[in-house]
Structure 1
Amino acid sequence: MDDRDLLTRVQAVIGHAQTLDDCAVLPHGGEYLVATTDMLHETTDFPCGMTGWQIGWMSVAVTLSDIAAMGASPTAVLLAVGLDDPERLLSIMEGANDCCTTYGAELAGGDLDAHRELTIVSTGLGHVAPEHLVRRKGARPGDVVAITGTLGEAQAALEGYGQHRQALLEPQPRLREGIALGRAGATAMMDISDGLALSLYDMVAANGCGFAIDTDRLPLPAGVPEGEARELALHGGGDFELLFTCPKELLPVPDVEATIIGRVTAEPVVLASGRVLERRGYQHRW
């Protein structure tokens, strides 16, 4: 059983629609409040050699990436830290606060506890006008499929390609790009934290349509043999780029570096260069 299988049990309690997006969406005055939370553990989420500052930065960045995927602006982050060693706290908080400051959020509080393993829960809040909100659902046959940035760099670092280590340890949430795409009229969007292949299948589940991508169009991590690089771009996790759909004429969007990699199709399958793409990426398993 993996985390997506387990999600069906959550859906049985709170409903299917409440689990489709990167954030919960709540009406708040004339806007929407978006809210998201992430739990990270040292053994599964923080690669060996990370500094406390990088751990704090990453813990906030992954949450801000969810907010970016909704086309929203960040407001505040709450950080709950379960510490195995209290001496680690200061540098973690400094990294978290620097990430918040960089992207216009406030590190507004949280909780502290003692844990056997360093565990951090990051909760983010953002806001967006109703007309600029982008959900995972909304893709239409004929739309193009596009991504921001380069995929596979984080996984390349884990595979020993040291030139990509900063991409792994200090991810950059695409908030500016997400906001711009929401305002321009993107039809569907999500972040690619678990890899492109799994993200495309998540989009199928949300939309009921399919996606055909051309793997030759994928921007690949530099310095990695082409075949391996393409595999990392398709199935590697930890990139925190944006996957989105939109009418072709919408692109380019000012200040957004994006690559068209395919198109939305009517049949609910995921094709990569004409073949069914393996549903594989970063997943928690039991």
Structure 2
Amino acid sequence: MDDRELLDIICPVLGGEACSDDCAVLPEIKGIPVVSTDMLHETTDFPSGMTNWQIGWMAIAVTISDLASMGALPKYLTLAIGLDREDRLNDIIHGAQECCLKFGSQYVGGDLDAHTELTLVSTGIGVVTDGKPVRRSGARPGDLVGVTGIQGRAMAGLKGDRRYWRDLCEPSPRVLEGIAIRQAGATSMMDISDGLAISVHDIMKASGVGCELSRSEIPCLPDYKPDEALMMALFGGGDFELLFTISSIDRQILPKGTSIIGAVTEKQEILLDGNLLPAEGYRHNWNH
């Protein structure tokens, strides 16, 4: 099949408007728009054993997670696909479409090409209509450090624990939580895609502050030995939970499912129970 014939697979899923023009025509966006783009490659981003449906889901989910980290509502997604085999397209498109629908956004088009390695590039537009997006750079000394969810689930799945395989392959962006945390008064926020420890370093560096975390407050998997569960929580990526800072007063209206794990300090050190926490986690490395 050539690319025009492959469109016959895409159009019944997305609708004719998403396939008929070179650009998606969007209605006027009311509020503050936020935009994010992610590129995923099969060898580095899709664990062996993932279905093509899950690959499509993940390609959209990682971008929606970025929008959620700003406290934005995802509105429109595009997906460019570098396809290594044409028989994979149908399931990829359905997985991407279902992820969009799950989180209230529209899959409005993209691009399609042949590629030696399956590569997906998703772009998302979100909007904040009742305030301002939450950036990484607003943490202040005295703020509390919080997270959503239980950390380490995706790493458990990657290590072969079938109970957490879907957590790894079908991440669920924290859209409603991100909006609620923003509305509660978060001073900074980001998603935890590369692991908690390195994300804490990222957000504190952007804000020019440090923090001290409490090991006992980090929500870890209860069915693993404590030390192993902590290591997965700190250094395993792929959970796509949210990391945020907030004042002690505003914490009273945080949504359920959040945990306070520490406090922001003026001294630019990242400590766990008084010891330096290394900036380790998943890193994109171009040195070969």
Q: Which amino acid aligns with 1:277?
A: L
Match of 1:236 in 2: 236
1:163: how far off? 1.2
Match of 2:153 in 1: 153
- Which runs of structure 1 show a deviation greater than 6 angstroms over 4 or more consecutive aligned residues? none
For 1:154-193, list aligned pairs within 5 A.
154-193=154-193
Taking the aligned partners of 1:87 and 1:64, their CA distance within structure 2 comes to 26
1:279: how far off? 1.0
| Superimposed CA distance per residue, residues 137-166 of structure 1 (whole angstroms, 9 cap, x where no aligned partner) | 111111100000011110111112221111
| Superimposed CA distance per residue, residues 155-178 of structure 1 (whole angstroms, 9 cap, x where no aligned partner) | 111112221111101100000000
- 1:168 and 1:84, CA in 2 relative to 1: closer, same or farther beyond 3 A? same
* Contact 1:155 1:232 survives alignment (8 Å): yes
For 1:108-257, list aligned pairs within 5 A.
108-129=108-129, 131-253=131-253, 255-257=255-257
Match of 2:14 in 1: none
In structure 1, the gaps of 5 or more residues are 1-27
1:249: how far off? 2.2
Q: Which amino acid aligns with 1:259?
A: S
Match of 2:6 in 1: none
| Superimposed CA distance per residue, residues 58-98 of structure 1 (whole angstroms, 9 cap, x where no aligned partner) | 11000000000001111100000011101100100101000
Q: Which amino acid aligns with 2:81?
A: V
Match of 2:95 in 1: 95
Match of 1:84 in 2: 84
Match of 2:41 in 1: 41
Taking the aligned partners of 2:110 and 2:56, their CA distance within structure 1 comes to 13
* Contact 1:132 1:183 survives alignment (8 Å): no
Taking the aligned partners of 2:221 and 2:122, their CA distance within structure 1 comes to 29
Match of 1:54 in 2: 54
* Contact 2:181 2:255 survives alignment (8 Å): no
* Contact 1:144 1:247 survives alignment (8 Å): yes
Taking the aligned partners of 2:29 and 2:85, their CA distance within structure 1 comes to 42
Q: Which amino acid aligns with 1:235?
A: F
Taking the aligned partners of 1:278 and 1:162, their CA distance within structure 2 comes to 29
For 1:5-84, list aligned pairs within 5 A.
31-84=31-84
| SS in structure 2 at match of 1:248 | coil
After TM superposition, the score normalised by the length of structure 2 is: 0.87
| SS in structure 2 at match of 1:137 | helix
In structure 2, the gaps of 5 or more residues are 1-27
* Contact 1:81 1:121 survives alignment (8 Å): yes
| SS in structure 1 at match of 2:249 | helix
Match of 1:25 in 2: none
Greater Cα radius of gyration, structure 1 or 2: 2
- Structure 1 stretch 197-206 or stretch 110-119: which is displaced more? 197-206
* Contact 1:132 1:185 survives alignment (8 Å): no
* Contact 2:237 2:281 survives alignment (8 Å): yes
Match of 2:275 in 1: 275
* Contact 2:184 2:254 survives alignment (8 Å): no
Taking the aligned partners of 2:260 and 2:46, their CA distance within structure 1 comes to 31
Taking the aligned partners of 1:104 and 1:85, their CA distance within structure 2 comes to 30
* Contact 1:148 1:258 survives alignment (8 Å): yes
| SS in structure 1 at match of 2:211 | strand
Q: Which amino acid aligns with 2:88?
A: R
1:255: how far off? 4.0
* Contact 1:185 1:250 survives alignment (8 Å): yes
Taking the aligned partners of 2:284 and 2:73, their CA distance within structure 1 comes to 29
1:263 aligns with 2:273: no
- 1:255 and 1:227, CA in 2 relative to 1: closer, same or farther beyond 3 A? same
1:254: how far off? 5.7
* Contact 1:144 1:260 survives alignment (8 Å): yes
| SS in structure 1 at match of 2:253 | coil
After TM superposition, the score normalised by the length of structure 1 is: 0.88
